[in-house]
Structure 1
């Protein structure tokens, strides 16, 4: 079929899919415009007269909901302003019908109607919809009105708290059911994996609840759980572990053992080995040891039957003995299976018991907080519609508000979410709900792209729901369309041909098609250059033993991972430097054209990003950042750990080497080598003789003083501000450290709001936090993107690299829990939850469950490959890195290489490397409208006036802050430095409290005059104890003494009397004094202002030590500041005498400033300011 015919079929299918009078189930290949079809359907629904509030559109993510809403509003906004001819053309293309004047008027009003819809357009995630339903019917759902929704971080912390509560309770009552369960679980999991195993059990609470319900009788006490598991696993009722051990130990009596040992000892080597183990069984008395000896004789290490049990010659010579031993072997194997199954049943029941207890505590804690988590939103809504006594009434109320349900990315919808949708849509097809108007269900998805099985998505459910709604629609005599979309607008022919070769044909990979019998793609971009290139894998080479004195590295330079990362980075660098043309576009390849996909971030993402940065290639970094794994955050956490326990030498050493202080290995060696005490003590001792170490020790001492008294956010914000430490960390660790630091501070702020603020609590909370930053990787910035395939779903790029192709199925998952069918359900829902402990490998039912799960993982593995390959628009590069054992069987690399082999051609790349290629040539004009750095598709050309040079602006007023005015060539003087000092110490410049003394003194002089004289000293000391913790005790005492001396001095009483005001803001506009000058606007704050009947006094405090002796020696910056204040006050109080003075706190000494001196600096105000601008 040619492109014209395929395009015509696609247009017809898209029109059927958007038909507002029919329900539709759309299966759309990657790149075929799923979102476009969905938006077109909503527009046609609105145009047909459906009120916006009666349309419910459910999406998989908030980003997808936002994108869809933006597209809708963009189109509706355009309709409101388009000329009639253009609007009529658009509407005719949308509906396939001619448009009259009334329809045009109606279409123009839709934008306003959509904006005014109560509650807005219902384009939202299933979680957001369920939240709305529960908010509307909280009492019927059995939850608190005005409940809150826990975010993932809060839910994790609450689960952690619940687990700790149960562990504490179980440990304190070891004889209780929970105590016994804890012993069993720890025995099988160990302390290292205990948290992980329990977390898996709690991950899917619906599955856990279903398993508990499946236990039947007395499920609250779990009395029925283990008996049911025993029956399912063919374990006899009432038999215990020791009973089975005794049976195994008695499998052969002493006479039989003597006979067997004597005969086997004369046989071949294999027979003799069996004789040794049987002889050991005869010699030991303990049943456990005897059973172990029999196991060594009868079974292999993995507890399966020995296949070469008794050699052929001995079998023929001793048939009777052989028959007896083989019979004993088979019986023993059955007993061993039963023994392992019993242990499995006990371990599984113990784990479920603990998980059930944790779940109950967790639910109770949520109830106390009137909160729900994300899983609750769907499960509570389902229960509301399924089990509530008011379910019929609720469905009736909801039915009255929804006429059309649309589901985007339907293949990723979980079974429980489908159940909610089915309840809502049931009324569309039956009873009072089947009203005269057409009420429809629409779903668009692609089972080949269902890759979220770990979140509950099931592609089979998508296909099943299509069948269910199809039957219901036919029963109700409603129109129903099942529509395939196969024309891809994204990828070139070469890429799609490769995809069809890998996933199509009679031997299609399992898991990629359920609704369609074949996988077939058609390319819209005919005649454009496309390329699929496969590289040889990077193999592991034998490495020399590492030098124990060399620094540790994440990856050695010659590791396969690093070699492949360098090869990709070099190729990208060559493209950019050489300005290699992207043929389909006719412009050079840019960094933003490139997407590098990995199955999981480790081990490839970090070396890849490093290789790109090393070559100066712009790279967006990782798409997800786990906060607690970021170096900047680790440095801040370890600082907290040291402050909580100064005896922790390792924590202190880490802090000293971090960007917080930047000490070197040599510095650490000098401080710590040969010490006889703590590293902290050694640092303080060295600080007495080394100024650099003194600064470090001073900062740590200040932070130690504040750690127990300051909330975490305030504390860490102060640490990062002091000495520009945030800037230091970003400079050393890279720009991405800024994102991590910001989120760390946000987490500290949230912790302060929700928990009793303490550094110990916050550090512990951070250790267990799994918070991640999900970075927006939509193509906008011109940077290479390195992402997981899961994160890249929905994205595309001109060039895609797939370097992570040699890994095994299910790598990184390893979930230890399985659902064992109990015969009561057709699906895994309600099945018993079993823990596949190592001993369960020999249990047949567990082997079957594992194989079933492995098959599901294999299918999703194939679908993940499909998603990865279909991200590419023009070029797809596939490579791989192997481990020492080679690459995994049936890995992506082998699947693609083998299936593409007939169409691949050998070639050499620009670096001389052997590659295999399949391509399509450029035979049409390049599409130059596409460019990574171009504006988004919604952007419009700038209007003409925006391209005309703006006329010269008139002279504008210059704003001046008096305290910031500094004469050219001079620096602002540090109040803490002697007036005549030639330079400020670099160590003092780095200090965060360089101006702290002045600020504290100003604050005391502002507030103490308002306090009764007898109470001033106590108030001053309390204030300094709180705000001056970073200063030494001697300095704090000095500030208090100086301030009180000023306030007790009779000479200064008028300055602090009832006619005075503290910290007076002042602002004034001063026109140009003469032609050519610039008008100025003065804005500042006067330390003290005294307004008397006959004059005004302006007072400025300064803490310089020692102060100048005469006004002429005062720093010019201070004099300009006073001149500016005098100008501003003169503007406000014209004609009144104004006196200015500086109060030097060291003395104290009041220094009046002569008017003629101020006039000198007043004359310099305007020209100085003007010259700086």
Structure 2
């Protein structure tokens, strides 16, 4: 079969008969190569269980598995000739007989039926499975769970708190003296990230030598080098001379006069007097006239200044050593406690999965056994995105593959291969431990080992891009020419597979930095960026240009192919063709989204969202805060103005103004007739807060009270991701903590959870995301707006010198060792930033737009200048536009004929039986269980002294609580206990003493003592069927004797009936329901009912006939 060069390169790379190290350019089809290689391994008769494919993300694993199953599934249904063609295209050039075709058709079933499924997974998933398979050998809990970020953060905080309370004068106290960071949580996270390096605890001399100081060096050595004994005489002589000289000399003299005794304590003052802010000796001191008149003294002063300079730096270095010693002391104890805490809880974090697996495979006592068990299971290892593999992950891969080149695995009759594909130019995840240099180091190591035992090994490259046009690829090559240090190999050029595809790169003119921003409206949020700010102007410009592209009258077109290998035609631009990529989610990111929405452009929204910052989440948390604390006026006001209630500013003002110092909730209840819907929702939720877990209450808000629909209708469909994330957090909280509303609020509000929104590339919406988030994606048009000035700032508190963690020193003047470490980090970040630009540029298929706003880097390291320099070599044309002059590099025929793109094929709907397709006229309404309050009837007799309904209910709840709690305690403790019982917020404070006295009179009444006897049951929940309806309720007191079961209900009515015949109808119906339920629970027993009236401390029995007749009336 004749293949083009690009396809032939893919076929060679997918050859399963040799180990291959593949360097693949962006868009070169590496996923296809991986899939092809697995398919060819299966065709060669390899057992699916012997293949291990490690991907970088779960999404990549899922995509690869789906592609493989799609291909194998197609083979299973193919006729002979189409199957032969498919296998030939895959790379099978030999003849296939009927048996070979039949075997190919069975591969789908074999893959599906493989125990545990095909091993196409992330390395973390593989390590988790391995640890669960060998928990005893790995010394882990067999039921371990992977710790969530929030739980890990809380655990770190708990450990630091324990260390602080238990540590007297130890590591934590020393840390508080030297810690200068902004967040202790961020610091402990850094410590964990460097945990492998912290395993070796250096001695004081080790740290001294690390900083370039001799062993045993201390303050005394600095003092000996600084003071020779003649300095005081020198200063005494020079101060008068300097005072008689110029202004600068006088300033030095005054500073020297304040130094005092020349000891080490005087070093800071000496430094302030004799050194610059950069820590170097002052130049041209003393002035020329003094130096000429007193040369010996002047030379001695200059010599002293140099010694002070050296002493100050030595002191800084010595302090850095001491700080790093504190760092190691703290880290050693913290990491030990952290590991122990995780072990007790059965938790492992992502780093643990890798490190525990590495330790397992390194353990000489068990490694041979584990590898023996795996040896029969893994014969072929495939590694995707190898450039982003960390050193620890490479160690795991190396240990898994060590049997390939030793023992039975090295025999010539055993085919074992390793396939690694990656691209150093796309290594952009150093913050996750990735090191692109490992890609080459591991290549050399595997090549040496495999060739030594005679195993075939090849290096291969994929240079052809099936994605981008030649204009974009040539711009990429010229932009990164001479950037070998960043991973760009000079002889590895990019080639466009579609040579005739029209392509262009546009360089928009830079929008200058705003010199002065106009004042916004006083009603604007304080953090809103001015409309004249250059970021806002650029965002508005981008939105305007996109709107012009999408306009019905626009002449803008992009190329497409009707069929593979055919000519290119032009078509209209749709929103889904456009992808906007930024370096980070700064103001520009949000302004672009806002500007697009203002123009009603179809945009997908942010690719990531911070859950706690989402408006929908903040509205829901405000509602929960109010429900937990009704006195929280601000939270209630927030809820009323939110989409959950939909109030206007005027509505809220009318409620809040002139309310006579009442809580907002009290004022709202007084206006029940004006806002019945709002009050009904809030009252229902207030009634449920003590009985529902956070998740249940959130679901009630979102479903029963249509909170989800209201939020989405106002805030847009993207708000749904934040709502769902909050629900997930509620479930996560309930799994790890004792559920309470206040606890959940503290959990949620302290969290900084960020989630990734799955934006469907087929949704035909404009996508705005970071370059990191766009890895693996593509679009016909890519806009890079964030190409201006970007300074490199190292925010980490912990650095590494060699392999030893040290503390990054505060201040501008740092020890030389720290400066060198920082310089290396900045160089590494600068190289990674170039690779990030490469990833961004290669997302584009036909049209790349580069823009910038504000200042550019003075050294030309910004993206805009970098691309501009590359386009200078390509040769551009100037295109006048509304933006100014656009520099354009263009290839191909952009005047090709226009054609209509075929509409997307809609899936064919199956014909269903009428019973499935007929519309249901009505949905049966689910009957909620009844409560006693649902039975109707008056609950109290009319009384001129009666309290309002809410106050009366709160008073009753309070008295019930006192009766329940004090009955279980000794009377001697009642006075102390009664003050500790919380009262409902709706009950005025002045009514508390009367309610407390009323409850005590009941408890002290001799005639009622049988109700509160120890054998009596309190607060009994019941669930029974009354007629055709379920009933739920709580019986205050149930007294069970051999003769009779008595139901007692407490009532705190102000007016007490004279007898059972005067008892309110609602109370009779309630007692009838209780009597019916207890009769079902205790059939054949005598059931009695009665009311305990707390106002009079009396008991009224109710006849069975009376309560049953009342219940019948309710039915």
Normalising by structure 2, what TM-score? 0.80
| Correspondence 1:301 to 2:277 | yes
Cα displacement (A) at 1:160: 2.3
Corresponding residue to 1:735 among 696, 705, 717: 717
Cα displacement (A) at 1:786: 0.5
Equivalent in the alignment of 2:1013: none
Distance across 2 between alignment mates of 1:72 and 1:955: 35
Distance across 2 between alignment mates of 1:693 and 1:257: 84
Corresponding residue to 2:828 among 840, 856, 866: 856
Equivalent in the alignment of 2:50: 54
Corresponding residue to 1:751 among 733, 745, 750: 733
Judge which range, 414-423 or 532-541, deviates more: 532-541
Per-residue CA deviation, residues 57-95 of structure 1 (Å, 9 max, x unaligned), is 111011111111111111111111111111112222322
Per-residue CA deviation, residues 840-872 of structure 1 (Å, 9 max, x unaligned), is 832010011111111111110110000000000
Matches within 5 A, 1:431-510: 431-435=407-411, 436-504=413-481, 507-508=482-483, 510=485
Equivalent in the alignment of 2:353: 377
Equivalent in the alignment of 2:123: 126
Distance across 1 between alignment mates of 2:1078 and 2:281: 103
- Tell me: CA distance 1:778–1:1056, structure 2 relative to 1, closer, same or farther (3 Å): closer
Distance across 2 between alignment mates of 1:951 and 1:210: 66
- Tell me: CA distance 1:963–1:1150, structure 2 relative to 1, closer, same or farther (3 Å): farther
Distance across 2 between alignment mates of 1:465 and 1:523: 29
Equivalent in the alignment of 1:818: 799
Cα displacement (A) at 1:963: 6.6
- Tell me: CA distance 1:508–1:1018, structure 2 relative to 1, closer, same or farther (3 Å): farther
- The answer to whether the 8 Å contact 2:786/2:852 transfers is yes
Per-residue CA deviation, residues 30-54 of structure 1 (Å, 9 max, x unaligned), is 0111111111111111111111111
| Correspondence 1:777 to 2:763 | no
Corresponding residue to 1:590 among 571, 574, 577: 574
| Correspondence 1:95 to 2:92 | yes
Equivalent in the alignment of 2:211: 233
Per-residue CA deviation, residues 1020-1074 of structure 1 (Å, 9 max, x unaligned), is 969x99xxxxxxxxxxx98952623766999x99999999xxxxxxxxxxxxxxx
| Correspondence 1:1043 to 2:1069 | yes
- Tell me: CA distance 1:836–1:963, structure 2 relative to 1, closer, same or farther (3 Å): closer
Equivalent in the alignment of 2:63: 67
Normalising by structure 1, what TM-score? 0.76
Cα displacement (A) at 1:785: 0.5
Distance across 2 between alignment mates of 1:708 and 1:1151: 28
Equivalent in the alignment of 1:117: 114
Equivalent in the alignment of 1:511: 486
Distance across 2 between alignment mates of 1:1048 and 1:708: 23
Tell me, what secondary structure is at the counterpart of 1:143? Answer: coil
Cα displacement (A) at 1:303: 2.2
Distance across 1 between alignment mates of 2:842 and 2:1032: 74
Matches within 5 A, 1:939-958: none
| Correspondence 1:319 to 2:319 | no
Distance across 1 between alignment mates of 2:23 and 2:1079: 86
Equivalent in the alignment of 1:1062: none
Distance across 2 between alignment mates of 1:403 and 1:874: 42
Equivalent in the alignment of 2:870: 899
Equivalent in the alignment of 1:984: none
User: What is the number of equivalent residue pairs in this alignment?
Assistant: 976
- The answer to whether the 8 Å contact 2:518/2:530 transfers is no
Corresponding residue to 2:31 among 13, 35, 39: 35
Equivalent in the alignment of 1:166: 160
Cα displacement (A) at 1:101: 2.6
Per-residue CA deviation, residues 317-354 of structure 1 (Å, 9 max, x unaligned), is 44322322222122212221222122222223323333
Tell me, what secondary structure is at the counterpart of 1:608? Answer: helix
Gaps of 5+ in 1: 216-223, 822-830, 966-973, 979-999, 1026-1036, 1060-1143, 1153-1173
- The answer to whether the 8 Å contact 2:935/2:1070 transfers is no
Cα displacement (A) at 1:149: 2.4
Distance across 2 between alignment mates of 1:297 and 1:725: 67
Cα displacement (A) at 1:398: 1.5
Distance across 2 between alignment mates of 1:1014 and 1:551: 58
- Tell me: CA distance 1:86–1:706, structure 2 relative to 1, closer, same or farther (3 Å): closer
Matches within 5 A, 1:398-437: 398-435=374-411, 436-437=413-414
Matches within 5 A, 1:193-212: 193-202=183-192, 204=193, 207-212=194-199
Tell me, what secondary structure is at the counterpart of 2:21? Answer: strand
| Correspondence 1:339 to 2:319 | no
Tell me, what secondary structure is at the counterpart of 1:405? Answer: strand
Per-residue CA deviation, residues 985-1006 of structure 1 (Å, 9 max, x unaligned), is xxxxxxxxxxxxxxx9997764
- The answer to whether the 8 Å contact 2:463/2:492 transfers is no
- The answer to whether the 8 Å contact 2:775/2:839 transfers is yes
Equivalent in the alignment of 1:881: 853
- The answer to whether the 8 Å contact 1:141/1:388 transfers is no
| Correspondence 1:520 to 2:493 | yes
| Correspondence 1:393 to 2:376 | no
RMSD, matched Cα = 4.1
- Tell me: CA distance 1:251–1:57, structure 2 relative to 1, closer, same or farther (3 Å): farther
Distance across 2 between alignment mates of 1:735 and 1:1039: 50
- The answer to whether the 8 Å contact 2:61/2:121 transfers is yes
Tell me, what secondary structure is at the counterpart of 1:53? Answer: helix
Per-residue CA deviation, residues 940-982 of structure 1 (Å, 9 max, x unaligned), is x86xxx79x99999997976667799xxxxxxxx99999xxxx
Equivalent in the alignment of 1:986: none
Tell me, what secondary structure is at the counterpart of 2:887? Answer: strand
| Correspondence 1:176 to 2:163 | no
Distance across 1 between alignment mates of 2:71 and 2:56: 22
Distance across 2 between alignment mates of 1:438 and 1:958: 62
- The answer to whether the 8 Å contact 2:517/2:533 transfers is no
Per-residue CA deviation, residues 1096-1146 of structure 1 (Å, 9 max, x unaligned), is xxxxxxxxxxxxxxxxxxxxxxxxxxxxxxxxxxxxxxxxxxxxxxxx999
Tell me, what secondary structure is at the counterpart of 2:405? Answer: coil
Tell me, what secondary structure is at the counterpart of 1:35? Answer: helix
- The answer to whether the 8 Å contact 2:175/2:330 transfers is yes
Matches within 5 A, 1:568-967: 568-578=542-552, 580-584=556-560, 585-646=569-630, 648-670=632-654, 677=661, 681-685=663-667, 687-688=669-670, 691-692=673-674, 703-704=685-686, 706-721=688-703, 723-810=705-792, 814-821=795-802, 831-839=803-811, 841-882=813-854, 889-908=860-879, 910-911=881-882, 913-922=884-893, 934=904
Matches within 5 A, 1:1050-1061: none
Distance across 2 between alignment mates of 1:79 and 1:303: 74
Cα displacement (A) at 1:183: 2.3
- The answer to whether the 8 Å contact 1:807/1:888 transfers is no
Distance across 2 between alignment mates of 1:652 and 1:955: 45
Distance across 2 between alignment mates of 1:560 and 1:312: 50
- Tell me: CA distance 1:664–1:329, structure 2 relative to 1, closer, same or farther (3 Å): farther
Distance across 2 between alignment mates of 1:957 and 1:49: 52
Distance across 2 between alignment mates of 1:64 and 1:343: 48
- Tell me: CA distance 1:842–1:755, structure 2 relative to 1, closer, same or farther (3 Å): closer
Distance across 1 between alignment mates of 2:1112 and 2:605: 59
Per-residue CA deviation, residues 569-628 of structure 1 (Å, 9 max, x unaligned), is 111111111353213452211111110001111122211111111111111111112212
Tell me, what secondary structure is at the counterpart of 2:772? Answer: helix
Tell me, what secondary structure is at the counterpart of 1:583? Answer: strand
| Correspondence 1:273 to 2:251 | yes
Distance across 2 between alignment mates of 1:644 and 1:975: 29
- Tell me: CA distance 1:649–1:1055, structure 2 relative to 1, closer, same or farther (3 Å): closer
- Tell me: CA distance 1:547–1:102, structure 2 relative to 1, closer, same or farther (3 Å): closer
Distance across 1 between alignment mates of 2:839 and 2:759: 17
Gaps of 5+ in 2: 561-568, 928-933, 939-1021, 1040-1044, 1053-1062, 1085-1106
Cα displacement (A) at 1:449: 0.2
Distance across 1 between alignment mates of 2:124 and 2:420: 17
- Tell me: CA distance 1:761–1:265, structure 2 relative to 1, closer, same or farther (3 Å): same
Cα displacement (A) at 1:393: 2.2
